[in-house]
Chains A and B, each alone.
Chain A
Amino acid sequence: MMTFIIPICMLLGPVTIASLLVWGERRLLALFQERYGPNRLGILGIGQLPADMLKMFFKQDWIPPFADKFVFVLAPAIVMATALFSFMVVPIAPGFVVWDSDVGLLLFLALSALGAYAVVLAGWSSNNKYSLLGGLRASGQMLAYEVFMGLSVMGVAARAGSFNLTRIVESQSSCWNIVPQLIGFVIFYIAALAETHRTPFDLAEAESELVAGFHSEYSGLKFGMFFVGEYIGVTLMSAMMAVLFFGGWQGPFWSGPWWFILKTILLIMSFVLVRATFPRARYDQLILLGWKYLFPLALLNLLITGVVILW
């Protein structure tokens, strides 16, 4: 019975949270900027969500005649598929995980790397120069930030002695990884922002220079998939940070999945806060920051962690 319940929870949970974020992010952004945001429809304006969804369903789902049709349709599916697949290895509570894999962490990194294809292919298949520029930017950015996203969590894996995410959570029973792996966390956080292309690093869809970047030509439900896919990515990154650095389901008292959910939601809110706070970086600054500062820092962090473990 549980073999069916767990996968269904892991599929529906992230999608629900992500679609609530469509409304939640606008409300939170408004809060941070001393505005109201969408507050008219229903309690606290939550009716905005079904209204937006209905609008998106009824819009014309247009495929440009000059686009590469197959790849154009494939790209939004990749966003959703890779992000939702990654939830397979996220442990919510002891035993409450779809696949308690020994390569869980690697699988997460691999799937987030595959997520880069969605943006790149969307940019290419639209056959539009703004989309292509967006796709190019996205591929350069994700390739760079993937590298030390992987390196930054290797310290965590070394401390736990395993890539198994359940074991990683259990290894944090005395002290959360955020304390000994603070540098790793900061690097992972920045890489997560770049990987989900959120605002300081949303060069792939910078509307002030590239119309809407890689999804300029998308409309209707396909655009909706990119839109919700981004929020699923944010949810995934927050869940992974809760697992890797904040002790997963473990809390100071009454350890259980509610701690995990609370940590995930707080981390998602921090993503929104970052978006509300920082202006967009320039592309060369982004790549420079990645290769010249964060990459050596991640290597150094790994080296020091190794020395401390073997001391």
Chain B
Amino acid sequence: MLGPSVLFSVSATLAVFSTLMAMISRQAIHALLYFILSLLSLSLILFDLGAHFAAALELLIYAGAIMVLFLFVVMLLNPTQELPRKNLWLPGSLFVAFLAELIWLMPGKASLDAAQVINLSEVWVLLFKKYGVLVELSSFLLLAGLIAAYRIGRK
């Protein structure tokens, strides 16, 4: 058994740290920046596990498109004052509990070293053959969202 790679360790640590900072940051834009950093490190983790396609899509769609939209909205509202310091006892203790669970579970699941690159055509076959109905249904869900947004925008 090989341990997790250096890239995985670094990006996983970064992901945990940046997600934590995204939750406790007192300025909206800084929280968003930490969230983007956490998405980037997630993409690195996926890349390290051999899922190059998923990693590229994570970068393209989440970090590249959706978060720019978030940033756009936050900038449009431009909250100037910092958020009040929150009571962090409950989220903090939950976070510590989950982290402890993760660390406790880690040695048992040591299949992280199987970093074989996943072929793109395999992903496509799975998406459009085996899970084809599911993909179509989720696209219907998105369509519903689009129509709702259009209706609200018309008013």
Contacts and interface: CB of A to CB of B under 8 A. Distances in A.
- The secondary-structure label for the interface of chain B is helix
Contact of B53 (A71, A106, A114, A117): A106
Contacts of B56: 103, 106-107, 110
A120 B52 contact: no
B59 interface: yes
Contact of A139 (B55, B59, B68): B68
A132 interface: yes
Interface residues of B, number: 24
B60 A143 contact: no
A186 B75 CA distance: 32
B33 to A, nearest CB: 7
B60 A113 contact: yes
Nearest to A107: B56
Given A113-B60, A120-B72, A143 B36 contact: no
Contacts of A61: none
Interface residues of A, number: 30
Interface of A: 68, 71, 101-103, 106-107, 109-111, 113-114, 116-117, 120-121, 123-124, 132, 135-136, 139-140, 142-143, 146-147, 150, 162-163
Interface of B: 29-30, 33, 36, 52-53, 55-57, 59-60, 63-65, 68-69, 71-72, 75-76, 78, 117, 119-120
10 contacts: A71-B33, A102-B52, A103-B53, A103-B55, A103-B120, A109-B60, A110-B60, A120-B75, A132-B78, A139-B68
